[in-house]
A and B are shown apart, each in its own frame.
Chain A
């Protein structure tokens, strides 16, 4: 496997605040990695580091390049959509396409036109005249038409209604993702994307809480719904987190053999959202 992204002991301090604290991970080619964390956990800082927008300590390599020092080269092969990186409102759609065509060596104008043809985005409209959903469609069409190796999405569907959100991810998988490209995505709407992901990372207080493939989740994590005496016995196996659901105790276990939990209640693999809560709250406890 080839690593597209390699991070070793990456940190970023803002004064005394450690936004990213000694984080190490790899992202392999062809994966769809979900990065989750509460607000202020360091997600955006980490993404900025990957995109060369901020200088981090430690060793960070994206597509074999130091992102901060070689941002221009990097940006030929990386695209990103971030809620904070909005399209300029004064620009016309045609001007935007003209500009990117003139400055981006990997941009296919005809591909972008084709993708925009499927939307209601008017070519002569200014961005300010488009709805938020249409702006996102425009942005996704543009980056899909860029032959990039890594796509970074930071809350790409924030503020969109459910129809646009579903369509966004549908188009992302159908038009953009081809197994060669790699996606790194962060969002709070975990449920909506969990079935597209191949890998997940959790980050909290700048530290990496989890970094694993979706395939290996069932081997590592078990969620057990149980009551009464069984609950006490299960507690003996050191769940990382426990919550009450309709009178039942729901416990999350990490690295505990499913065999040991056999007979103690209903065992299943936790959803990413539940696992996220378990890891964040469990770590805080």
Chain B
């Protein structure tokens, strides 16, 4: 089972090069954008000087830590967005392409069950895509900090003091690892639905997947005058039970940044206990299981002739 899963997931990466090309391109774009920004900023020596002097003398450690952290997290958001889009397209394609290009019978001629195959596609969405994205995020963070360090040094600042000593790298990375792995689990009902559509639809998986997401809630409202399905979909996007609420007063009083060093931490804001005791999360896992089971069933019982 496990050796098969590893081989199957490796197969997915071979087939879908976008799994690593997409985050790599996002990282490249961010690095190039930063580079452009530095070149541009070099034309305004005074402003850069004021910035560096200000950062060195005025702000405290916690301020610097918060500033670097904001940069790192800000640079992470595009990866999460790209990862989400990638997951949608990957999972919609994963069981559709093999039927369209007629290789499904070849794959089924090997001693691998349909369940193993479908689960490998689920695990690719839940683990492979996030882990590849995480590695690229870490590399991009290092590149961004290194480039900023060089820029600061060239402009007469201390990169060690301003950047490397201030960067809460381990905290940010540990937090991001948790987030990149937990986010797909939280959104897994959608992944399950996409896998099912991918296994089932005869044409246009994208349309087949998204139309019901709009039509079914509309129909529910017309017929029953309720909006339970719509609420369920919406709540996935509004109520992620993974982060502790941020108390703005702990960070700012009327005009000053007053957070303690401990508060400037990503890990400190993650609440795994809340995540794993969330009924909504577990309900989602059950829905995912149902869709994945349906996808396995369709792949196994469908007879194209």
Contact = CB atoms under 8 A, between A and B. Distances in A.
Are A and B part of the same complex? yes
A91 B15 contact: yes
B112 A85 contact: no
Interface residues of A, number: 36
Nearest to B103: A88
Q: Per DSSP, are chain A's interface residues mostly helix, strand or loop, or mixed?
A: mixed
A75 B101 contact: no
A207 B111 CA distance: 30
A19 B304 CA distance: 13
Interface string A78-92: 111010111111111
Contacts of B6: 102
Contacts of B245: none
A72 interface: yes
Contacts of B108: 53, 71, 75, 85
Contacts of B107: 88
A95 B101 contact: no
Contacts of B15: 88, 90-91
B157 to A, nearest CB: 49
A72 B112 contact: yes
Contacts of A105: 111
Nearest to B116: A72
15 contacts: A44-B305, A53-B303, A71-B108, A72-B112, A85-B102, A85-B103, A86-B102, A88-B107, A90-B14, A91-B15, A95-B11, A102-B3, A103-B112, A104-B111, A105-B111
B101 A82 contact: no
Given A48-B303, A90-B15, A102-B3, A84 B112 contact: no
Contacts of B106: 85-88
A126 B22 CA distance: 22
B109 A103 contact: no
Contacts, number: 83
Nearest to B14: A95
A89 B305 contact: no
Contacts of B109: 51, 75, 78-80, 85
Interface residues of B, number: 26
A246 interface: no
Nearest to A81: B109
Interface string B95-111: 00010011111111111
Nearest to B107: A88
Interface of A: 14, 19, 44-45, 48, 51, 53-55, 71-76, 78-80, 82, 84-92, 95, 98-100, 102-105
Contacts of B10: 98-99, 102
A87 B303 contact: no
Instruction: Kindly name the residue among B103, B111, B305 whose own CB sees the greatest number of chain A CB atoms within 10 A.
Output: B111
Contacts of A78: 109
Contacts of A74: 111
Interface in B105-143: 105-113
B4 interface: yes
Contacts of B224: none
B7 interface: yes
Contact of B105 (A73, A85, A95, A104): A85
A53 B7 contact: no
A87 B103 contact: yes
B111 A99 contact: no
Nearest to A77: B111
Instruction: Kindly name the residue among A44, A51, A103 whose own CB sees the greatest number of chain B CB atoms within 10 A.
Output: A103
The 3 closest A-B pairs by CB, nearest first: A85-B105, A102-B7, A88-B103
